[in-house]
Structure 1
């Protein structure tokens, strides 16, 4: 199962809780990029820009393939067309964790580890730009403003459905 969604949607937190329930490993794509690059995300953005980071993110996603695991992607994975195509061709459910902007912004506004978080207006514009992309890339959409347990419960139901 692959989890997509905007910053603050809880992809990593939900993935680890789901992992405990399904007894499957978690691959945090951001951590995988850092491991493969040998540098932190902020450094990648500073030296290679967002385009360089997206290419590295694609490579990490491609290595995951259709392995039996839970993948927590970065919030912008769907903005890179090759990654989007790869997601659509994988034989696992892609789930969009969605919440309204105010909920997500409250979760991320004080996190200095997010290179794309600047002003509320800039983050809102990014959210609006990506909203339709998340929806078009996903097989399922879940409201992530609910508790982690409620989200995981819905994901467990989805895990029983194979992608066609």
Structure 2
């Protein structure tokens, strides 16, 4: 199962809880990129820009392939066409964790490890730009404004 969604939607947190409930390993795509490159995400953005990071993210997705696990992607994975195509063609469910902008912004506004969080207006523009892509890419959409346990239960009901 692959979790997609905007920054602050709880992909990593939900993935770990879901992995425990399903007895499956969890792969956090951001952490996988850090492991593969030996650099933290802000360093990758500084050295290679967002395009370089997205390419590395896609390479990590390819390596994961169809492994039986829970994958928490980065919020912008759907903005890179090769990654989007890969997600659409994987034979595992892609679940979009959705919440309204205000809920998500409140969760991320003070997080210094998010290189794309500069201003509220910029984050809102990213949210609105990605919304359609998340919905197009996902097989299922789950409200992530609920508790982690409620979100996990909702995902488990879809299979």
Normalising TM by the smaller chain, what interval? over 0.9
For residues 14-163 of structure 1, the aligned pairs below 5 Å read: 14-159=14-159
Partner Cα distance (1:48, 1:158) in 2: 38
Matched positions, count: 159
Partner Cα distance (1:5, 1:101) in 2: 12
Partner Cα distance (2:158, 2:41) in 1: 31
1:109-140: CA deviation from partner (whole Å, max 9, x where unpaired): 00000000011010000000000000000000
Runs of 5+ unmatched residues, structure 2: none
1:7-52: CA deviation from partner (whole Å, max 9, x where unpaired): 0000000000011100000000000000001111101000000000
Deviation at 1:154, TM superposition (A): 1.0
Partner Cα distance (2:63, 2:41) in 1: 18
1:58-111: CA deviation from partner (whole Å, max 9, x where unpaired): 000111111100000000000000000000110000000000000000000000
Q: Secondary structure at the match of 2:131?
A: helix
Partner Cα distance (1:49, 1:70) in 2: 27
Partner Cα distance (1:37, 1:73) in 2: 16
Deviation at 1:157, TM superposition (A): 1.6
Partner Cα distance (2:119, 2:56) in 1: 26
Runs of 5+ unmatched residues, structure 1: 160-164
Partner Cα distance (2:157, 2:77) in 1: 24
Partner Cα distance (2:25, 2:147) in 1: 22
Q: Secondary structure at the match of 1:125?
A: helix
Partner Cα distance (1:140, 1:62) in 2: 22
| Residue in structure 2 matched with residue 162 of structure 1 by the alignment | none
Partner Cα distance (1:144, 1:70) in 2: 17
Partner Cα distance (1:51, 1:21) in 2: 35
Give the alignment's TM-score, normalised by structure 2.
Answer: 0.99
Give the alignment's TM-score, normalised by structure 1.
Answer: 0.96
Q: Secondary structure at the match of 1:52?
A: helix
